[in-house]
């Protein structure tokens, strides 16, 4: 893996061209756009165009985003003096219909949160190790003062991307790069509102108003902001995220991508997503995908789910769940796996031979059919 990255670096130099290349044994996200330069200093990181697709996970039950039913506020009876009244006649009325619960909030796709430690850097390019593979950042105009004592986190939230560079331990913000569409919040086009890990924020463009307002509305832009939310510059920043393994340890990791299988080659599935082409290795557990199928990839901490859909069905025709081997009881007759909808119990009507030599905690992949029945269990390589 390191050899492949250093070979690319040697052959391309620090030109700021695309970092997205297919590397054997890796799952690579390939960007689909470039910035046009503004006075030679401004270009986008990637074009994160939203692709409205049917979300594959149904029912959607995410613990962190469940909506609450609207509850009627309590009413309090006024205290009055008792009076003698005739006994009222009893009237039977229909019970009030319960108020419908609000629909669950759909998860954002694409959605990524991943952090990495710096293992190599040069002016304008940084290589990091993450729980799912290498992450590279490159820029023509910044990333000149990156140190090994810093931690980098990448967020993707729909069409917005945020890169945070902080000091380890103290967590002091050194750089924050926000890439998004020009969502102007005033007729004068002097402020924009963008998603950040701290919530929606409004930024005053200031000296950069003319350059940003003069860009085509369909092109995203990248700004650097400080801790006070003041824009400090416009930059060219690109990233290359590769997924080549299931996370082996717990971490604050999240990834959700939805797309369509566009190509099959050897042991790889080429998935077309709003981020570009994601090359999914068979090492992730996926099998027998077909061109044209819808496919989703979900990773949360040490758990992963890959769903394949067929003929427009709302439930996956095949689901591949990966994570640590966990039994529901001492009888070892049921497995517990984590899914986008929550915890799932899987019955073991027969103990597969593949489990005989595996101890709890080792990573496995469980394949399920459309009815949720067990098809196969295998160890993650």
- Boundary-marking domain end, from 293, 315, 337: 315
Alpha carbons 304 and 339: distance in angstroms, whole number:
7
What was the pLDDT predicted at 225?
A: 96
In a domain, 73, yes or no: no
Q: Please give the torsion angle defined by the CA atoms of residues 358, 359, 364 and 368, in that order, rounded to the nearest 10 degrees.
A: 80
Concatenated DSSP letters of 45-87: S------------SS---TTSPPPPPPPPP--PPP------PP
Mind listing the pLDDT tens digit for each residue in 165-182?
Answer: 999 988 999 999 999 998
What was the pLDDT predicted at 104?
A: 58
Domain that holds residue 261: 1-58+105-315
Check whether residue 322 and residue 307 sit in a common domain.
no
Check whether residue 307 and residue 372 sit in a common domain.
no
Length of the chain: 381
What was the pLDDT predicted at 218?
A: 85
Alpha carbons 308 and 16: distance in angstroms, whole number:
35
**Whole-prediction pTM:** 0.70
Residue 8 confidence class, pLDDT cut points 50, 70, 90 = very low
Alpha carbons 261 and 291: distance in angstroms, whole number:
5
For the cut 50, the answer to whether the pLDDT of residue 163 exceeds it is yes
For the cut 90, the answer to whether the pLDDT of residue 239 exceeds it is no
Check whether residue 266 and residue 375 sit in a common domain.
no
Alpha carbons 207 and 190: distance in angstroms, whole number:
10
| Count of domains for the chain | 2
Check whether residue 194 and residue 331 sit in a common domain.
no
Check whether residue 222 and residue 301 sit in a common domain.
yes
State the CATH number of the domain containing residue 326. 2.40.50
First to last CA, the chain: 16
Mind listing the pLDDT tens digit for each residue in 294-331?
Answer: 999 999 999 999 999 987 788 899 999 999 999 999 98
Phi, psi of 98 (to 5 degrees): -65, 145
In a domain, 81, yes or no: no
pLDDT, mean over the chain = 76
Check whether residue 185 and residue 40 sit in a common domain.
yes
Check whether residue 311 and residue 331 sit in a common domain.
no
For the cut 70, the answer to whether the pLDDT of residue 251 exceeds it is yes
Burial 228-258 (b: 16+ CB within 10 A, else e): eeebebbbbbbbbbbbbbbbeeeeebbbbbb
Q: Taking residues 69-77, what's their average pLDDT?
A: 35
Mind listing the pLDDT tens digit for each residue in 323-369?
Answer: 999 999 998 999 999 999 999 999 998 778 888 888 999 999 999 99
- Boundary-marking domain end, from 315, 332, 352: 315
In a domain, 364, yes or no: yes
User: How many CB atoms lie under 10 A from the CB of residue 60?
Assistant: 16
For the cut 70, the answer to whether the pLDDT of residue 65 exceeds it is no
Check whether residue 346 and residue 373 sit in a common domain.
yes
Percent share of the chain, pLDDT over 70: 72
Percent share of the chain, pLDDT over 90: 46
In a domain, 91, yes or no: no
In a domain, 78, yes or no: no
Check whether residue 164 and residue 250 sit in a common domain.
yes
Q: Taking residues 50-59, what's their average pLDDT?
A: 38
Check whether residue 196 and residue 142 sit in a common domain.
yes
For the cut 80, the answer to whether the pLDDT of residue 100 exceeds it is no
Tokens 């459309």 sit at which residue?
370
């Amino acid at each position: 893996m390191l050899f492949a990255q250093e070979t690319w670096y040697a052959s391309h130099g620090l030109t700021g061209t695309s970092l997205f290349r297919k590397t054997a044994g890796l799952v690579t996200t390939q960007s689909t756009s470039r910035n046009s330069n503004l006075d030679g200093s401004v270009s986008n990181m990637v074009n994160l165009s939203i692709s409205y697709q049917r979300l594959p996970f149904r029912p959607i039950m995410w613990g962190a985003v469940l909506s609450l039913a609207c509850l009627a506020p309590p009413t309090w009876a006024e205290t009055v003096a008792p009076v003698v009244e005739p006994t009222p006649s009893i009237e039977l009325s229909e019970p009030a219909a319960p108020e419908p619960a609000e629909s669950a909030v759909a998860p954002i796709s694409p959605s990524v949160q991943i952090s990495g430690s710096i293992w190599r850097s040069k002016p304008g390019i940084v290589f990091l190790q993450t729980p799912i593979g290498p992450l590279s950042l490159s820029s023509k105009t910044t990333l000149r003062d990156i140190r090994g004592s810093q931690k980098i986190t990448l967020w993707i939230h729909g069409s917005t991307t945020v890169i945070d560079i902080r000091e380890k331990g103290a967590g002091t913000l050194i750089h924050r790069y926000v890439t998004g569409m020009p969502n102007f919040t005033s007729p004068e086009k002097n402020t924009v509102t963008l998603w950040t890990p701290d919530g929606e924020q409004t930024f005053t463009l200031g000296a950069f108003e003319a350059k940003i307002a003069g860009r085509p509305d369909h092109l995203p832009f990248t700004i650097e902001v400080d801790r006070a939310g003041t824009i400090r510059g416009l930059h060219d920043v690109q990233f290359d995220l590769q997924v080549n393994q299931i996370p082996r340890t717990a971490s604050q990791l999240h990834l959700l991508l939805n797309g369509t299988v566009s190509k099959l080659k050897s042991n790889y599935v080429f998935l077309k997503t709003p981020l570009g082409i994601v090359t999914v290795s068979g090492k992730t557990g996926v099998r027998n995908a077909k061109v044209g199928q819808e496919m989703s990839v979900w990773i949360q901490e040490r758990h992963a789910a890959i769903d394949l859909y067929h003929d427009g069905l709302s439930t996956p025709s095949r689901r591949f769940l990966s994570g640590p081997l966990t039994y529901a009881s001492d009888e070892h007759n049921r497995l517990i796996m984590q899914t986008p909808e929550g915890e799932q119990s899987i019955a073991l009507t027969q103990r597969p031979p593949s489990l005989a030599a595996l101890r709890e905690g080792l990573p496995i992949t469980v394949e399920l059919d459309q009815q949720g029945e067990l098809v196969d269990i295998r160890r993650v390589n």
